[in-house]
Amino acid sequence: MTEPSHQPRDHQDFPLSGAGLTALSIAAERNLESRRPDRLFDDHLAAAFLAPLDASRAAPPAGFRPRRSLGARWSGMHGFIGLRTRLFDDELLAAARVGGRQMVLLGAGLDTRAFRLPWPAGVRVFELDRQDVLRYKAEVLARARARARCHRVPVPVDLADEWAAALCSAGFDPTLPTVWVAEGLLLYLGRADCDGLLARVGALSQPGSRLVLDHVNAAMMQTEEFAHMAHELARVGVAWRSSIDDPLQWLAGFGWQATLVDVESYAAGLGRPVPPVLAADQRLAQRLWLVSARR
């Protein structure tokens, strides 16, 4: 993936840049969720990732609002990120309960599942992301003296490029069934790169493997809320590059039997309102897909 190397001046002393900044915005949402009395999960490390922002003299990248870490939120996605995190937590733990021991987080960002989920013995979690994101993550985790609850393996790669060899060199076993997570990633890859990612994932997936992901359709990209977020992201050099109108058909083409999660009922089951981003403009039939697939 090519990203503009320049950053607007006022963002220069942020610890991350480009797409890496979006990982911070997700951590901000997870931090807010974790502080609720009725929290859906407890990401006790999220605040540590945000803390350096308080020390930054820079103006916050608009749309991320990390001016004060504890109050930081990604307004456009508020309410949705917590639900998505909990859903993917549940999917990973369900797979582990029936014997899954190999998990791969594609575009792991500042995800802390390796540290906070009650993994059974023998689980390995591979975290794939850009080198700068994994470096920042390692620094913060070391400062917080965080201890993983599984065997955790960070793997710096460009997911728009060939990454399978790096994953296998890091100890991934292609003879085992795998649980793949692409959470908040596909928007940042062009359609051809999404296809390439799925082809690589498929080639490494034994029967019994699972894949969970999220994406949006083209109509969602056209909503006022998404257009606003895309505009704000462009200011920090980040582009949303793809959409998928029929995720079930797309995944079937790569050998996956996929089902869609009904986000509204999932939210209702957890006693949460429909996130504002989903209520944006029904006339456009916008869809924010949460998909669970098996092979």
Give me the residues that bind ligand SAM (CB under 6 A), please: 1, 19-20, 22-23, 26, 107-111, 129-130, 133, 158-160, 183-185, 188
- CB 274 → ligand SAM: shortest distance, Å? 20
- Residue nearest ligand SAM by beta-carbon distance: 109
- CB 165 → ligand SAM: shortest distance, Å? 15
Task: With CA atoms as reference, report the closest residue to 256 among 264, 248, 267.
Answer: 248
| The residue count for the chain | 295
**DSSP state string for 100-113:** --EEEEET-TT--H
Smaller CB separation from ligand SAM, 160 or 284? 160
Smaller CB separation from ligand SAM, 163 or 256? 163
- CB 60 → ligand SAM: shortest distance, Å? 16
Task: With CA atoms as reference, report the closest residue to 66 among 56, 76, 78, 79.
Answer: 56
Buried b (16+ CB within 10 A) or exposed e, 233-247: beebbbbbbbbbeeb
Smaller CB separation from ligand SAM, 197 or 280? 197
Smaller CB separation from ligand SAM, 31 or 223? 31
Kindly compute the dihedral angle of the four CA atoms of residues 133, 34, 189, 243, in this order, to the nearest 10 degrees.
Answer: -170
- CB 64 → ligand SAM: shortest distance, Å? 11
Smaller CB separation from ligand SAM, 23 or 123? 23
Spell out the alpha helix ranges (H) of the chain: 19-34, 46-55, 80-97, 113-116, 131-143, 164-169, 191-203, 218-221, 224-235, 247-252, 263-269
- CB 16 → ligand SAM: shortest distance, Å? 8
